[in-house]
């Protein structure tokens, strides 16, 4: 009877093991040409911040959308809102949080709330652009370029010019967006279970869904504060609140543009036991 | 010294043949292991750093920073954003982005934006506020 070749099998397995150790541990596949989706979470946050900052500067929503899609977030709007809230919670830059929330809102509503200041970009996908440059490349040496916006020089050519110079982008001021949010309800609540002087704000989109990340500006005679919807998701994505002081007149407006709720004063209420307490005000904004 | 018999010679030949098979099996095993580890199921990478990004993504990132810089005019903030790519100086990162943009048909407006950023990074003092 022929003996089973255990030694050969053992050698095969040992070789397999050695091969795997080498390919997985000693010399794994080298990483280069990676995609933004593979970045570490904090770098993804940084990437999102820069996307939002670029959007705030250009107002180019399709380009911002294309860039966000590179991160392959399951829900980019939620990711932006969550990051805005994390930024605020960690005492980060209010401007950054604002830009993130503004981009989230623009994506949610599908409308561009910012003025577009750069021309349309032919290819939103950053890889493999298809259109060759229409002008002679600008000289590589820019170290001593005196002007911040160098002139583009067309190639002198005896043949008829076939390239039509594109007008330079100009930062023309665009009229501010109107009032996309209407104040549809303003209620006074006398509920002793609520904190004294609570100002509640609910913000709904045109589809009657609550909108998170909407910046609310509240002003009074001696100050101003900004807060966002969605910081208390347990009370609703479009919910935000603020504690009013007694005898202070407040004005509330959404930063994205809305009706103004003026002359808001915490109402004086009476409990069933006859006690006096500060009541609440509930404002409801909705996109028409 | 005992005489060498035909049986001994045959036994020795069988043993060397066996070792050859063992060695061959080992080599085949290593080969299969390498193919599996490098091709079929390579190590999956995540949590990568931005310096591993493909050149076009890097250039687009530089463009984003340039777009934001145009509005903010804050070279320290722009430099901080470019520092995501690691040890290189912000101006060389921006210059690389500019070279890529020129070589790959970015629009003139985008090239001008990156150029503005390169100039800002070159003249930036390098001090973060």
Helix/strand/coil (H/E/C) assignment for every residue in chain A? CCCCCHHHHHHHHHHHHHHHHHHHHHCCCCCCCECHHHECHHHHHHHHHHHHHHHHHHCCHHHHHHHHHCCCCCCHHHHHHHHHHHHHHCCCCHHHHHHHHHHHHHHHHCCCCCCCCCCCCCCCCCCCCCCCCCCCCCCCCCCCCCCCCCCCCCCCCCCCCCCCCCCCCCCCCCCCCCCCEEEEEEEEECCCCCCCCEEEEEEECCCCCECCCCEEEEEECCEEEEEECCCCHHHCCCEEEEECCCCCCEEEEECCCECCEEEECCCEEECCCCCEEECEEEEEEECC
Interstrand relation of A198-204 and A239-243 (parallel, antiparallel or unpaired): antiparallel
d(CA A137, CA A155): 9
Give the rounded percent of residues in chain A with a pLDDT score beyond 70: 74
Q: Are A202 and A155 in contact (CB under 8 A)?
A: no
User: For A126-144, what is each residue's pLDDT tens digit?
Assistant: 443 333 333 333 333 333 3
Give the rounded percent of residues in chain B with a pLDDT score beyond 70: 94
Q: Which residue has the tokens 């229409």?
A: A134
Give the rounded percent of residues in chain A with a pLDDT score beyond 90: 20
Among the listed ranges A52-61, A77-86, A105-114, A156-165, which one has the minimum average pLDDT value?
A156-165
Taking CB atoms and an 8 Å cutoff, what residues of chain B touch A34? Answer: 45, 48, 52-54
- Distances from the Cα of A284 to the Cα of A111, A192, A203, A224, A251, angstroms: 21, 21, 6, 20, 14
Give the rounded percent of residues in chain B with a pLDDT score beyond 90: 50
Taking CB atoms and an 8 Å cutoff, what residues of chain B touch A54? Answer: 63-65, 67-68
Subunit contact A50:B59, Cβ cutoff 8 A: no
Confidence of residue A210 (pLDDT cuts 50, 70, 90): confident
* Residue of A219, A212, A226, A205 lying closest to A261 (CA atoms): A219
Q: What is the dihedral of CA A78, A82, A83, A87, to 10 degrees?
A: 150
Residue A163: the pLDDT is 41
Distance from CA of B90 to the nearest CA of A (A): 14
Identify which has the larger pLDDT, A144 or B104: B104
Identify which has the larger pLDDT, B12 or A234: B12
- Among all residues of chain B, which has the CA nearest to that of A122? B107
Res. A246: pLDDT tops 70: yes
Task: Say how many CA atoms lie within 13 Å of A103 toward its Cβ.
Answer: 35
Res. B93: pLDDT tops 90: yes
* Residue of A218, A229, A227, A225 lying closest to A263 (CA atoms): A218
What average pLDDT does range A272-285 have in this prediction? 87
Taking CB atoms and an 8 Å cutoff, what residues of chain A touch B56? Answer: 126-128
Subunit contact B109:A169, Cβ cutoff 8 A: yes
Taking CB atoms and an 8 Å cutoff, what residues of chain A touch B25? Answer: 8-9, 11-12, 15
d(CA A183, CA A286): 7
| Mutation target among B37, B71, B78 for the A interface, most CBs of A within 10 A | B37
d(CA A25, CA A45): 29
Distance from CA of A213 to the nearest CA of B (A): 21
What is the distance of C-alpha A246 from the center of its chain? 35
Subunit contact B31:A19, Cβ cutoff 8 A: yes
Taking CB atoms and an 8 Å cutoff, what residues of chain B touch A148? Answer: 116, 119
Residue A94: the pLDDT is 85
- Complex confidence, ipTM: 0.73
* Residue of A215, A257, A217 lying closest to A103 (CA atoms): A215
Taking CB atoms and an 8 Å cutoff, what residues of chain B touch A128? Answer: 56, 104
Residue A1: the pLDDT is 56
User: For A30-82, what is each residue's pLDDT tens digit?
Assistant: 667 888 998 999 999 999 999 999 999 999 999 999 999 999 999 999 899 88
Res. B66: pLDDT tops 90: yes
Distance from CA of A89 to the nearest CA of B (A): 21
What average pLDDT does range A215-224 have in this prediction? 88
Res. B118: pLDDT tops 90: yes
- The partner residue sitting opposite A33, judged by closest CB among B21, B54, B65, is B54
Q: What is the reported pTM?
A: 0.52
Among the listed ranges A53-62, A178-187, B58-67, which one has the minimum average pLDDT value?
A178-187
What average pLDDT does range A249-262 have in this prediction? 89
Res. A183: pLDDT tops 80: yes
State the helix-helix crossing angle for B75-82 and A41-58, rounded to 10 degrees.
140
Q: What is the dihedral of CA B16, B22, B23, B26, to 10 degrees?
A: 180
Residue A227: the pLDDT is 85
Residue B58: the pLDDT is 93
DSSP 3-state assignment of B5? coil
Q: How many CB pairs under 8 A join A and B?
A: 204
Residue B69: the pLDDT is 95
DSSP 3-state assignment of B73? coil
Res. A7: pLDDT tops 60: yes
d(CA A121, CA A62): 9
Residue B40: the pLDDT is 87
Residue A112: the pLDDT is 63
Q: Which residue has the tokens 């829900």?
A: A75
- The partner residue sitting opposite A131, judged by closest CB among B37, B105, B112, is B105
């Amino acid at each position: 009877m022929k003996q089973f070749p255990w030694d050969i099998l053992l050698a095969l397995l040992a070789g397999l093991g050695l091969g795997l150790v080498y390919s997985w541990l000693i010399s794994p596949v080298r990483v280069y040409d990676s995609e933004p989706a593979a970045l570490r979470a904090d770098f993804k946050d940084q990437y999102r911040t820069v996307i939002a900052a670029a959007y705030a500067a250009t107002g180019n929503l399709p380009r911002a959308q294309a860039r966000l899609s590179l991160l392959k977030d399951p829900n980019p709007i939620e990711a932006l809102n969550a990051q805005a809230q994390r930024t605020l919670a960690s005492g980060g830059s209010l401007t950054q949080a604002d830009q993130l929330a503004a981009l989230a809102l623009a994506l949610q509503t599908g409308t561009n709330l910012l003025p577009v200041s750069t021309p349309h970009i032919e290819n939103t996908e950053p890889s493999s652009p298809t259109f060759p440059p229409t002008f002679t490349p600008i000289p590589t040496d820019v170290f001593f370029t005196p002007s911040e916006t160098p002139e583009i020089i067309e190639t002198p050519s005896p043949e008829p010019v076939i390239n039509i110079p594109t007008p330079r982008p100009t930062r023309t001021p665009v009229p501010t967006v109107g009032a996309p949010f209407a104040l549809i309800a303003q209620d006074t609540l006398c509920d002793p279970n609520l904190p004294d002087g609570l100002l509640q704000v609910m913000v709904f989109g045109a589809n009657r869904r609550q909108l998170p990340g909407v910046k609310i500006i509240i002003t009074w005679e001696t100050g101003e504060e900004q807060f966002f919807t969605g910081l208390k998701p347990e009370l609703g994505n479009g919910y935000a609140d603020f504690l009013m002081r007694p005898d202070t007149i407040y004005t509330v407006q959404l930063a994205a543009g809305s009706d103004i709720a003026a002359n808001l004063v915490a109402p004086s209420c009476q409990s069933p036991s006859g006690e006096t307490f500060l009541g609440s005000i509930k404002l409801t904004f909705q996109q028409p | 010294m005992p005489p060498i018999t035909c049986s001994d010679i045959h036994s020795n030949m069988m043993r060397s043949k066996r070792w050859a098979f063992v060695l061959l099996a080992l080599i085949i095993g290593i080969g299969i292991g390498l193919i599996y580890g490098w091709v079929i199921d390579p190590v999956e990478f995540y949590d990568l750093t931005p310096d591993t990004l493909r050149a076009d993504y890097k250039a687009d990132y530089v463009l984003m920073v340039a777009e934001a810089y145009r509005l903010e005019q804050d070279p320290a903030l722009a430099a901080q954003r470019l520092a995501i790519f690691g040890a290189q100086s912000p101006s060389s990162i921006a210059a690389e982005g500019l070279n890529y943009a020129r070589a790959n048909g970015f629009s003139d407006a985008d090239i001008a934006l990156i150029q503005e950023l390169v100039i800002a990074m070159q003249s930036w003092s390098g001090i973060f506020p």
